[in-house]
Structure 1
Amino acid sequence: MSKAKGNFVCNDELGICCPVDPASLFTAPKEKKPVEIYMFIDPLCPECWVLEPFVRKLQMEYSHYVTIKTFIGKGASAYTPASDKDVQKLIHEMAKSYNATACRTGMPCNGDVWHEQKITMPYTANLGIKAAELQGKAIGSKFLRRVREALFLKKKNIADKDTLIECAKFIDGMDVEEFMKDLDSDSPKIALESDERTTQEMEVSQLPTLIFFGEDVNEPGLKVEGHYPYEVYVQIIEELVGKPLKKCPPIPLQEFISFYSIVTEKEIAVLYDLSLDDVHREMKKLKLRQIVNEVPTRQGFLWQYKKVHNFKQTNSL
């Protein structure tokens, strides 16, 4: 027998409560879960962007076992080139990395942004992410998502405050005025410094990195650098829990698209165990029902929830 419990549906036979919408994935747990994952990322890091659908899938299927904490690690956004020559080298390397990652993984990230924009102070983007988190985990997660979309998909300069404010304007429930005040305050700086201390204490030298902690506080965390097949993460959680895992059903696709506004075919394929062809067919059905808009990119299509302004007809975020 199943019964509703807040934003979750609890199955008495299985003994688990499963999320019914993406916002519930960011609800503060009332009880400690057996596994805690520290996720270290950089908003400029294409490999961190690739990890996104795997993390969302873990939250969707196994949120009753895991809590995920996000930390901004020291990556490209913390690097300040010393000379014009170093700047040109960084631009070349980052553009090449973006395009190679997109071709290898299918997650869109356009390296042209490094040639078209002057991302001079990416540290500002990190402050924006921390300022957004002051309004709650769900708002913080959606803002991080918007910043990544602006960079990887729309070739925007996320080091620019105006870009960050535009990202904030397109998040339901976000207090933009409060965000602007927080962005200029000491609070996000303090939060970012805390992230940096944790990064150093955990000896994180590569991004992305996930560190898995079990209930035994005497056992060190298991550090996983880079990204691996989804099954590897599930196996680690199962070993830490010490018994076979019970999996939640997927959140309805329309709910997922509505929450994040713009999604890639690759992440839908990962989250819902579909081939890219199957994803395209399903999204075409939603397009016919006028639920989404289709946005072509170099690496396939993006799908945009129709509540948001048309992606192709505006320069806004």
Structure 2
Amino acid sequence: MTAATEQLPLEIVEYTDPLCPWAWGSEPVFRRLRAALTRESHVRWRRVHCILFDHDDDPAPDPAAETAWYARYVEDISGHTHAPRALRLSRVAASSWPAALVAKAAEAQGAQGADRVLRRLRESVFVLGEPADTPESALSVVSGVPGLDVGRLATDAASPEVLAKVRADHAEARRPVPEVLSVHGSASPHPGAAKETPDGQHRYALPTLLVRGAAGHRAVPGWRPYEEYVSAITELAPGLLPSPATLPPAEALARYRTLTEPERVLLTDGGPWPPAGAVRVGTGNGPLWLHPEEAAVHPAVVPSPPAVPH
């Protein structure tokens, strides 16, 4: 790279959905990757909400049977990713739009707040078993996030500006780069070939990371190990990615607020676990650990407040 191109930004685009089980299972690796890039001011991480459960999906003729099938599907995925799954799933999400609108609106309140809002939305389905698939439930499940202005969030999530942004995400997700239309040679149980949509288009499989720089782009679709993301980044920006520093358990839990067992392994330095005051929430596939301040407001421990009117 020349001195000029070294100064150009590297963009990492995360194609995701708050209610996607493979995206939930990729959280440990993505958290580790974002931590490794925290000090790189010329790296931009952007999320595109692809809308897994769309308006044009046909309603299930037998909702109970569909829920039972989908619970088994999530259980199978969690067997690969080791991510928590709800002890009981109440239903299959009716729509991803409400959660995507809330997640997108939260970006106006800062990156840390947006991360925590998205995390709560994921936990709504994979820990609580109650997918945040209505405006009311999406706002309710995030209402205890520290520092979040929930009134502003409700107003922003219902605004034409945020709707336009999510519509743009929806369209962008349906313009995948050619190399993900078919994926070969991967040992992953979810190699991430683009999915055909009901109208004959294709959208990115979830999750997919697209790394863009002056030297081109690299796509890493599906569920992949950390090293594949590192390789894609270093191909475009050699020497950019530092070795991520793990944190002592108490510091990691304070930073991330909630940690799954795979995240504990990837993000902590292996010190004594659990940290003092950590609250354990049982799931169908291992615990979710909460920081004590998070446990005081988390809907897995305390009832959610009434939905915010909008």
| TMscore range, shorter length | 0.7 to 0.9
Residues 283, 303 of structure 1: 8 Å contact kept: no
SS where residue 85 of structure 1 aligns?
A: coil
Superposition pairs of residues 82-93 of structure 1, within 5 angstroms: 82-85=58-61, 90-93=66-69
Aligned counterpart for 2:31 among listed residues 47, 53, 56: 56
1:37 matched to 2:15? The reply is no
Give the aligned residue type for 1:294. R
Name the counterpart of 1:296.
Answer: 282
Report the residue type matching 2:252 in the other structure: F
Q: SS state of the match for residue 13, structure 2?
A: strand
Higher deviation after alignment, 228-237 or 77-86: 77-86
Alpha-carbon distance, 1:194 to partner: 1.5
Percent pairwise identity: 25
Please say if 1:171 is aligned against 2:145. yes
Q: 1:105-116 maps to which residues of 2 (within 5 A)?
A: 105-110=81-86, 112-113=88-89, 116=90
1:72 is aligned to: 49
Structure 1 stretches of 4+ moved >6 Å: none
2:223 is aligned to 227
Deviates more, 1:147-156 or 1:54-63: 54-63
Counterpart of 2:88 in structure 1: which amino acid?
D
The amino acid of 1:97's aligned partner reads Y
Shift of 1:80: 4.0
Q: Unaligned regions of 5+ residues in structure 1, if any? A: 1-30
Asked if the contact 2:252–2:267 (Cα under 8 Å) also holds between the matched residues in 1, the reply is no
Give the C-alpha shift of residue 163 in structure 1.
Answer: 2.4
Residue of structure 2 in register with 1:314 after alignment: 302
CA distance in 1, matches of 2:143, 2:7: 34
Query: Which residue of structure 2 lines up, in the alignment, with residue 181 of structure 1?
Result: 155
Task: Name the CA shift for 1:160/1:245 in 2 (closer, same or farther; >3 Å).
Answer: closer
Moved more, 298-307 or 82-91: 82-91
Conserved? CA contact 2:253–2:290, under 8 Å: yes
SS at 2:163's partner residue?
A: helix
Q: Which whole-Å CA distance do the structure 1 matches of 2:18 and 2:7 have between them? A: 28
- Closer/same/farther in 2, CA of residues 297 and 112 from structure 1, 3 Å limit: closer
Structure 2 gaps of 5+ residues are 1-5, 178-202, 306-310
SS at structure 1 position matched to 2:153: helix
Q: Contact 2:51 / 2:100 at 8 angstroms: preserved in 1?
A: no
Q: What is the CA distance between 1:33 and its match in structure 2?
A: 6.2
1:124 Cα deviation from its structure 2 partner:
1.4
1:219-244 C-alpha deviation (Å, 9 max, x unpaired): 3x211210211111112222212347
| 1:32–1:263 Cα change, 3 Å | farther
Residues 283 and 248 (structure 1), Cα distance of their counterparts in 2 relative to 1, 3 Å cut: same
Question: Is 1:262 aligned with 2:258?
Answer: yes
Tell me which amino acid in the other structure corresponds to 1:100. Answer: D
After superposition, where does 1:7-18 map in structure 2 within 5 Å?
none
Structure 1 distance, partners of 2:251, 2:7, is: 27
Structure (1 or 2) with the greater helix fraction: 1
> Taking structure 1 as reference, are residues 187 and 295 closer, same or farther at Cα in structure 2, changes over 3 Å only?
same
**SS of aligned partner of 2:174:** helix
Q: How far did residue 117 of structure 1 move? A: 3.5
Describe the shift of the 1:121–1:227 C-alpha distance in structure 2 as closer, same or farther (beyond 3 A).
closer
Aligned to 1:181, the other structure's residue is in SS state helix
Residue 145 of structure 1 aligns to a residue whose secondary structure is: helix
8 Å Cα contact 1:40/1:208 also seen in 2: yes
Distance in 2 (CA, whole Å) between partners of 1:244 and 1:178 is 37
The one-character-per-residue Cα deviations of 1:248-296 (angstroms, maximum 9, x if unpaired) are: 423444333224322111111122375xxx7xxx223x1xx33x11222
Distance 1:57 1:84, change over 3 A: closer
Contact 2:103–2:114, Cα closer than 8 Å, also in 1? yes
Q: CA deviation at 1:208?
A: 1.0
